[in-house]
Amino acid sequence: MALRSIVLEGDSVLHKTCRPVTKFDDRLAQLLDDMRETLSEADGVGLAAPQVGVLRRAVVVLETNVPEGEEPYIIELVNPEVVACEGGQEGPEGCLSVPGRFGLVRRPMDVTVRAQDRHGNEFEVKGHELTARCFCHEIDHLNGIVFTEIASRMLTDEELESGSWQDEAEEE
Ligand code: NI
C-alpha cells in the first residue's frame, strides 16, 4: 500500500466526469488499498478516486455508525449509484480537497447505494446521517462536482464553532 497525494480545489481533475470501472484487476485493488490508507492518514470520512488523480468511478467511505465498542470501518464502492433516498438534513460539509473550509449542504438523511466490490460483485448498502452525506458527497466527486459548488453558502470559523448555522437550518 502507498499513500497518494490528494488533489486540491482548483485542479481541473476535480471537475471531470469519471469513467466506470470495467476491469476488476490488481490495479483496482491497489488503487482501493491506497485510497484506504490515504483516507485513514488524512483522518477523513470519505475519498473519491479523482481526489487522487484517477478518473474512475471508485470511492471509499468510513462507516462511523457502528455499535458502541466497535471500530468504524471503510466501505469500498465501485461504480456506485444512489437507488433510494429518504428524509433530509442540512449541515456543514467539508472535503479533503478543500482543507479547513466548510459549507452548508442539504442532503438526504438516508441513502441506499448500489455498487460493486473490488471483485465486481454487486451489493447494496444503506447509509444514515453522516454516512448518507458521505455517499452523496463522494458520488458527486465522480460526476465532477465539489461541495463548494452546491453549498447554500460557506461557513465562517465563528459560525462553525458556535454552531449558529443550526438556527438557520431549523428555519427552513
Ligand atoms: Ni470531497
Cα of 97 from ligand 1 centre, angstroms: 6
Task: Round to the nearest angstrom and report the end-to-end CA distance of the chain.
Answer: 45
Cα of 11 from ligand 1 centre, angstroms: 13
- Residue 109: CB partners within 8 Å, gap ≥ 6? 86, 87, 88, 89, 128, 129, 132
Instruction: Give residue 54's pLDDT.
Output: 98
Question: Could you give the residue numbers annotated as active site?
Answer: 138
Is pLDDT above 60 for 172?
no
Three-state DSSP at 24 gives coil
The three three-digit cell numbers of residue 61, written as one number: 467511505
Burial of 107 (0-12, 13-18, 19+ CB in 10 A): buried
- Residue 75: CB partners within 8 Å, gap ≥ 6? 60, 61, 62, 63, 125
- Around ion ligand 1, which residues have CB less than 5 A away? 95
Cα of 113 from ligand 1 centre, angstroms: 17
Cα of 70 from ligand 1 centre, angstroms: 25
Q: What are the tens digits of pLDDT across the range 77-112?
A: 999 999 999 999 999 999 999 999 999 999 999 999
Q: What are the tens digits of pLDDT across the range 22-80?
A: 999 999 999 999 999 999 999 999 999 999 999 999 999 999 999 999 999 999 999 99
Give the whole-angstrom CA distance, residue 69 versus residue 43: 19
Q: Annotated binding site: which residue ranges?
A: 95, 137, 141
Q: Annotated binding site for Fe cation: which residue ranges?
A: 95, 137, 141
Torsional sign, CA 86, 144, 32, 28:
positive
